[in-house]
Structure 1
Amino acid sequence: MLYNFDRSIDRRPTLSVKWNKEAIKSLCGNPDAEPFWVADMDFSVASEVTQKARILSDHAIYGYPHATNQRQVFCSWAKKRHLLDLQPGQVVISQGVLTSIAILVELLSAEGDGIIIPLPAYQPFIRIVNNLQRTMLGWPLLYDQDTHTFSLDWPLYEELCKRARILIFCSPHNPSGMVFGHQDLIRLCEIAKQNNVVIISDEIHADLSFETHLTLLEPARQVGCEAVVCMAPSKTFNIAGEHYSVTLFNSSELKKRFVTRLEQLFLSTPSLVATTLALASYESGGKWLEELLVYLQKNADLIEKTLQKEVPSVVFLKPRASFIGLLDCSAILHLVERDAQEHPELYDSSASAQGGLLSRFFGQRAGLAFNDGTWFGGEAYRRFVRLNFGTQRSNIERALLHIKQAVAFLETTYR
């Protein structure tokens, strides 16, 4: 391998929110817990990208950027990575996927309109709906407790579409790790078209799929459904702090409205650093990504097999994309509740307002910071925590040991 993903990097002296003690405490009440939460990785970027960043740093002037080849560079990447035939005229560059989604919701709906969000959901989707005073229509995924898998609830989707203006979709899905096939995407678009629902598809994890990723843009075109796709280099190449996104359109009219709104808000030009890193990543990061995906899958395999063998009461929902996955803790939830009754000081919600029962348990008893399942859609998901395994394997091994010890404590103490 050309790249060393096992090299440990101390991020604590930086401005990393993932390693910020106050942020960690807000999740689990323990500021010293080791972070496995927010979705960025503990890997250095590709050396080719580092070289571009170093040249910029050595130059030591950070003026306004001007890069006329950005859309062409992305089209080349999309063709190579996803066999996606795009024209530069379909592509808009802007300052972040969430910014793009919020603007699209604003453009395509009015206050009070229904917005469908599959649940569990990346929480900022819910905030966008609430901030813009739209009506959230939750679309809970079906969950099979025997196979520990999620699936789409089609009858409910059809009912919700009758009351909706927009669907905010996420493909691959965060936090479940689902990857959607052609028939699912066609069906999604057909039902949306029948009800005049516009689909905004967040595909920020697309490049990190462990299998073929099918973007929604082509099924939407085939069906005649209005849809917009949002992508970015941020998760793919671990440059999430550099806000840069790519929004893809089938409709030239909608694209024109979107560009006009970006210009009205002065949001159409990413920074010099963001532009430099994004272009370098798309042009030179392919080999790094190939090796990263192998490393991530081995991390996921390790988590799955170790828990099955040593901690069977905690189940890893092995994702089919990206570096985040859910742990189903249903079998120990009643024991955690007992622990909270016996030691309420460890589960003080005022000390961890962004957490829940399970994130506090793992923070206090295992010294590990996870996103609590309730963050993704409320109490219906309290059985889960989300684990970020985009880190060195030694960190994964240590985390698994701490999980084993914490669960053993529960099972010894309260059974």
Structure 2
Amino acid sequence: MEDGAVFKQNINRRHTASEKWDQADKLFGGNDLLPLWVADMDFAVPKAVTQALTERVRHGVYGYTFRTETYLNAVRKWMSERHDWTVDTKWICHSPGVVTALNLIIDALTKPGDKLLIQPPVYPPFSKTAKNQQRDLVLNPLVYQNGRYHIDFDDLKNKLSDPAVKLMLLCSPHNPVGRVWEKQELLRIATLARENHVLVVADEIHSDLVLPGHRHLPFASIAPDDYWIVCMAPSKTFNLAGLQMSTIFIANPELREKYQKQLQRFSLAEPNTLGLTAAEAAFLHGSEWLDQCLVTIQRNAEYVSNYLKSECPSLVMTPLEGTYLAWIDCRRLGLSDSGLKRMLVEDAHLALNPGVTFGSEGSGFVRMNLACPLSTIRQAMNQLHKAVDQLHQRKAIRK
């Protein structure tokens, strides 16, 4: 049995080589900032994961390893039980991380000068990987309407009809806007992609982090053929990002062979010994922990949304359907992106992701990590409230 107290516990992560906590001041140019930026959790992992790692560490030998049938079946079991998706274990490929997989996929399955489509504002490595591989970007910006994001399907149809567009990177659930795409939306994407022979690569790393009232559908489960790649990982779900273990599903044998060759080419085919142990334990025994984690994320999201409405009405949080990342509209403050960042760092003493880093479509927004104890959220909201009040006071004086 999991103890729900783990989601209330303030674990000191400073001086543990934590990128989130130990690099925030340096990266944001502040001093003693409260870090709510990079997407990892401040929660201890499931007990079963700690126990499995402890036993493996006690063995004392950490040589080369491989993905066992037990691990592969644990992945298959998780997908069946959590997503009602039946997978064949031969589809399951390895990668240290989803971003690594995206680079390998783009390198293996497209060529320089090919066009890749993304839907900004979106996770920054989508555009970075394309540029790293000398591929041209095509943008199908999401439409922000009545406080919710939608796909512009007329624009998508037009963009996918370009023969030079070979691949679409789909973020599902979407980071940073928090949308969980509905079945009809995914079906329309699948139809357009099939008609234009565009490969859909779905980054579904937040697939397990979906709040009540919404359901994640693996893109592959509704696609009419096997011309897709789905990227998942236990890293976001169970806070295992540092153990470098991701799961890439490729049903198409030709695509899978090309991807596997890239893994071998860069010597990335062997999993991390402890990452394998942790992932297997999480998939087999982490369901109850995840359920409690989702309750915490929902509570934190409701707290932030309600707090902003009552105390900082000039800021508006987009309704959160999936992920643990709040997307907050700050445009009513009337600040430039640099001015907004300066206010957050110097006045609020917060490290939040600037929205503009997700594309120009994110200008005026910020992304806030909700995967932490409610006490941390309360502290962040109090600091933000004071900073916004100071801003309004300065504006009033200037008038």
Corresponding residue of 2:121: 120
Look up the equivalent residue of 1:217 and give its one-letter code: A
Matched, 1:214 2:217: yes
2:342 partner SS: helix
Contact kept in structure 2, 1:198 and 1:225, CA below 8 Å? no
2:327 partner SS: strand
Contact kept in structure 2, 1:177 and 1:318, CA below 8 Å? yes
Matched, 1:7 2:14: no
In 2: Cα distance, 1:16 partner to 1:160 partner: 40
Matched, 1:373 2:355: yes
Contact kept in structure 2, 1:62 and 1:272, CA below 8 Å? yes
- Structure 1, unpaired ranges of 5+: 338-354
In 2: Cα distance, 1:377 partner to 1:50 partner: 38
Contact kept in structure 1, 2:109 and 2:258, CA below 8 Å? no
In 2: Cα distance, 1:141 partner to 1:225 partner: 26
Corresponding residue of 2:366: 385
Corresponding residue of 2:65: 65
Corresponding residue of 2:152: 153
1:209-248 CA distance string (max 9 Å, x none):
113210000222x2x3621100000000000111111111
Give runs of aligned pairs for residues 263-274 of structure 1, distance below 5 A. Answer: 263-274=264-275
Deviation at 1:132, TM superposition (A): 0.4
Corresponding residue of 1:192: 193
Deviation at 1:134, TM superposition (A): 0.3
Contact kept in structure 1, 2:183 and 2:217, CA below 8 Å? yes
Contact kept in structure 1, 2:344 and 2:384, CA below 8 Å? yes
Look up the equivalent residue of 1:288 and give its one-letter code: W
In 1: Cα distance, 2:237 partner to 2:190 partner: 26
TM-score (norm 1): 0.91
Corresponding residue of 1:254: 255
Corresponding residue of 1:345: none
Look up the equivalent residue of 1:295 and give its one-letter code: T
Corresponding residue of 1:319: 320
User: Does the C-alpha gap of structure 1 residues 277 and 356 become closer, same or farther in structure 2, counting only changes over 3 Å?
Assistant: farther
1:120-161 CA distance string (max 9 Å, x none):
0111111100010000112110012xx221100111111211
Look up the equivalent residue of 1:89 and give its one-letter code: K
In 1: Cα distance, 2:380 partner to 2:39 partner: 17
Task: Pick the aligned partner of 2:380 from 381, 399, 408.
Answer: 399
Contact kept in structure 1, 2:20 and 2:35, CA below 8 Å? yes
In 2: Cα distance, 1:236 partner to 1:137 partner: 30
In 2: Cα distance, 1:325 partner to 1:65 partner: 38
Give runs of aligned pairs for residues 223-302 of structure 1, distance below 5 A. Answer: 224=225, 226-302=227-303
1:257-282 CA distance string (max 9 Å, x none):
21122122211111101111111111
1:186-220 CA distance string (max 9 Å, x none):
10011111111110000000011113210000222
Look up the equivalent residue of 1:361 and give its one-letter code: M
Contact kept in structure 1, 2:209 and 2:322, CA below 8 Å? yes
Deviation at 1:67, TM superposition (A): 4.1
In 2: Cα distance, 1:94 partner to 1:77 partner: 18
1:150 partner SS: strand
Look up the equivalent residue of 1:387 and give its one-letter code: M
Contact kept in structure 2, 1:366 and 1:406, CA below 8 Å? yes
In 1: Cα distance, 2:284 partner to 2:338 partner: 41
1:58-87 CA distance string (max 9 Å, x none):
333322224422221100110011111111
In 1: Cα distance, 2:152 partner to 2:226 partner: 20
Contact kept in structure 2, 1:209 and 1:320, CA below 8 Å? yes
Contact kept in structure 2, 1:45 and 1:237, CA below 8 Å? yes
Look up the equivalent residue of 1:246 and give its one-letter code: T
1:292-340 CA distance string (max 9 Å, x none):
00111000010111111111111111311121121100111x2x45xxx
Contact kept in structure 2, 1:190 and 1:225, CA below 8 Å? no
TM-score (norm 2): 0.94
Contact kept in structure 2, 1:358 and 1:382, CA below 8 Å? no
User: Does the C-alpha gap of structure 1 residues 268 and 154 become closer, same or farther in structure 2, counting only changes over 3 Å?
Assistant: same
2:291 partner SS: helix
1:199 partner SS: strand
Task: Pick the aligned partner of 1:363 from 339, 345, 350.
Answer: 345
In 2: Cα distance, 1:182 partner to 1:360 partner: 40
In 2: Cα distance, 1:266 partner to 1:370 partner: 35
1:241 partner SS: helix
Deviation at 1:250, TM superposition (A): 2.8
Deviation at 1:364, TM superposition (A): 0.8
User: Does the C-alpha gap of structure 1 residues 404 and 216 become closer, same or farther in structure 2, counting only changes over 3 Å?
Assistant: same
- Structure 2, unpaired ranges of 5+: none
Contact kept in structure 2, 1:217 and 1:249, CA below 8 Å? no
Give runs of aligned pairs for residues 301-340 of structure 1, distance below 5 A. Answer: 301-332=302-333, 334=334, 336-337=335-336
2:326 partner SS: strand
Corresponding residue of 2:75: 74
Contact kept in structure 2, 1:176 and 1:317, CA below 8 Å? yes
Give runs of aligned pairs for residues 345-356 of structure 1, distance below 5 A. Answer: 356=338
Aligned length: 389
Corresponding residue of 2:51: 51
In 2: Cα distance, 1:284 partner to 1:359 partner: 41
